[in-house]
A and B are shown apart, each in its own frame.
Chain A
Amino acid sequence: MTTAAPGRLATMAVWTLASMAGLALALFLFAWSGLYNVAASRGHWAVVEWLLAFGMRNSVELRAMPIRAPALDDPDLVKLGAAHFHGGCAFCHGAPGIPVSPIAQQMLPPPPELATSMRPWKDEEIFWIVQHGIKYTGMPGWVALERADEIWAVVAFLKRMPQMSASSYSELALGSVRSASQDGKALATVESDPQSTGACARCHGAEADGPTSALVPRLHGQPAEFLATSLRDYASGIRRSGIMQPLAAPLDSEDIRRLADYYARLSPLKQHAAAPDKSLLERGQQLATVGDPANGVPACNTCHGREALARYPRLAGQSALYMTGQLQLWRAGHQASTDGGAIMAPIAQRLSDRDIAAVTAYLASVAADPAATGRP
């Protein structure tokens, strides 16, 4: 290096800084002037659109790298995902038999119609997009970021959707709910949603019908106080769920009371057939009736049996898969912020995987108490 180099370097540095400052100033003046057109109706230049899509693809690919997908072919998972998609996603992304809303079509970029034209993302990449959303596109993140179990249900459904007919979609998404065809006056005067997106029964069933998916809890005959508390906790976001919070949030306290009373009065559903594994059921019965004092586990039935407070759910005949999911959430440290969760979380953390399998299989096989029905 020559002796003149330090002087030349300094000059170069000054010029670089000055031109950067000039560029920043020019950008600021451009934004300040209002000359840039932010109209969604105008679209992007082709080169900008290419650059944005290119950046998005690479960002999603990089960030999805550490994620590992669980098995996604479980029909219960697909059904739960379909039901959520129907209420949360179909407005913008359409579904078999349901076109994208004309309003959503005018977004920039227009949301892709996923049934026909989904980019060939990997499962993990879809998961990441559903969990976090995408900046500058209008795609929102998941309401309860930590509920990976719920997000995987949506991914499981999205994988199936392209091969789905309109009728099989509506069976998955609506369950037992059938929108009655309304006459002209009703259509003109009654506020109704032709897609029934807010109907609880799409997932939980109603009357004599049970839930469509074993991942969804059975509400029939549960104490009204417990149901109302759960809905309030979902609505306020204390109980975290990207599926339940959007549905519970619009309900006012009278709606919540009426809904809770309705499900509380329904007759409990018939219990599930007992699992064939005898030793598993014996362990489950032991945990439910006497607990495991040496490991600090109290008996489930003391709080979840027929004589307990109406503040607690009854577990006899509840879906084993649903109970397993809740216990695993508590064990992972989630859902401990509700008053009920604060009690259950430390107890769930004292259970092994086998204990969870045993106790849920046993409780699912016990007949619910018919006398509980209608109790406020």
Chain B
Amino acid sequence: MTAVRRLQLLALAALPLTSCADHQSVLNPRGPEALQLAQLSWFLFAVCTFVLVVVVVAAAAAIRGPAGARAMLASPRAVVWAGIVFPAVTLTGLLICGVWLTRAAAVPADEPGALRITVVGEQWWWRVHYPHPGGTVATANEIRIPAGRTLVFALQSADVIHSFWVPNLGGKVDMIPGRTTYLRLRAAEPGVFRGQCAEFCGGPHGLMALRVVVLPPSQFEAWLEAQTRVAAEPSSPATRRGRDLFVAAGCGACHTIRGTPATGVVGPDLTHLGSRLSVGVDTSPVTQANIARFIRDGQHVKPGNLMPPFRIFAADDLDAIAVYLAGLQ
């Protein structure tokens, strides 16, 4: 294999990395906490590279070097200084540096002025609640946040251990059943980032992703206000039929659409499904066709998810439900 060919292969192997370079990458920090983590990573990387070079040079000298160098490396003094004192000092230094750099993320859970968002990890999706004096704001698999404001995420789990991780914005924090963990972070500017459950949680763990949409503060307030409203009354005969079918088919046993008899809490709240970016936990964009496909054939879209397949609907009934849901802005 020629060197050129080897390089080509290496470049090819690295291709998947470039696909996350933008919206799901620790190397592209978009907030102060993420920046600190990136700086810490680079610093650690530099120190480790330095240590590696020293070790390789010392090993080479110990095998092939002049007799004087070999004797020096074998002396008790070298073992004490290079084998005990140097690692102890370096590691202590790195620890201090790490604690110093990540101090900002250590959480006062009740920081005044911070926006508090509860995220519950469930098999295999994210339940999201916003505190709001105007009413409940419940969404799923998508978190909208204002740029520049400090956020405190209260992280919980409904079943097994999950891990909340949005690499562009901050570190990884486990969601542990029976307790609440916290993550404080800030997004510097508007953008859309991708998060991913980072602790294997069974079945479709790999598809347990979420979107974080960072909005300018005024847009965020408008969005939050819109989310507190109950679902709009269907305005066309098709959407009315969709709503009636949704209720009669028992969808409300698991899903809530505020303002209708559907009040289930087993699955995600669908009150404003049409305003979200994706259906089936970030597996496909919110369109009428994708909603219909998930209802009928969700086990192929996201294998192992807890929603049974609803193949009972005639094609036009399924379309009516999908039209209704896609229109829930």
| B residues at A contact (CB < 8 Å) | 158, 245, 247-250, 252-254, 264-266, 306, 308-312
Contact = CB atoms under 8 A, between A and B. Distances in A.
Nearest to A309: B248
Interface residues of A, number: 22
Contact of B248 (A308, A340, A342): A308
B311 A303 contact: no
Given A303-B249, A303-B253, A312-B250, A298 B266 contact: yes
Contacts of A347: 308
B294 to A, nearest CB: 15
A296 B253 contact: no
B312 A340 contact: yes
A356 to B, nearest CB: 18
A312 B251 CA distance: 13
A341 to B, nearest CB: 9
B126 to A, nearest CB: 16
A311 B158 CA distance: 33
B253 A342 contact: no
A342 B266 contact: no
A311 B310 CA distance: 12
A298 B250 contact: yes
Contacts of A299: 253, 264
22 contacts: A291-B266, A293-B265, A293-B266, A296-B306, A298-B254, A299-B253, A299-B264, A302-B253, A303-B253, A308-B248, A309-B249, A309-B250, A309-B312, A339-B311, A339-B312, A342-B309, A342-B311, A343-B308, A343-B309, A343-B312, A345-B308, A346-B306
* Interface secondary structure of A, over-half rule: helix
A344 B310 CA distance: 10
Given A307-B248, A308-B250, A312-B250, A302 B310 contact: no
Q: Which 3 pairs, one residue from A and one from B, show the smallest C-beta to C-beta distance?
A: A298-B253, A303-B250, A302-B253
A338 to B, nearest CB: 9
Nearest to A297: B266
A208 interface: no
A294 interface: yes
Interface in A293-333: 293-294, 296-299, 302-303, 307-309, 311-312
A291 B4 CA distance: 63
A343 B253 CA distance: 13
Contacts of B250: 298, 302-303, 308-309, 312
Contacts of B312: 309, 311, 339-340, 343
Nearest to A298: B253
Which of the listed residues B248, B252, B253, B312 has the most CB atoms from chain A within 10 Å of its own CB? B253
A302 B252 contact: yes
Nearest to B262: A302
Nearest to B247: A307
Contacts of B306: 296, 346
A291 B158 CA distance: 16
A308 B306 CA distance: 22
A312 B265 CA distance: 22
Nearest to B317: A309
A308 B254 CA distance: 15
A342 B252 contact: no
A245 to B, nearest CB: 21
Given A293-B264, A297-B266, A339-B311, 17 more contacts: A293-B265, A296-B306, A298-B250, A299-B264, A302-B250, A302-B253, A303-B250, A307-B247, A308-B248, A308-B250, A309-B245, A309-B249, A311-B249, A312-B250, A342-B311, A343-B308, A346-B306
Contacts of B252: 302
B158 A346 contact: no
A307 B253 CA distance: 13
A340 B253 CA distance: 16
Nearest to B311: A339
A294 B158 contact: yes
Nearest to B305: A346
Contacts of A307: 247-248
B253 A291 contact: yes
Contacts of A309: 245, 248-250, 312
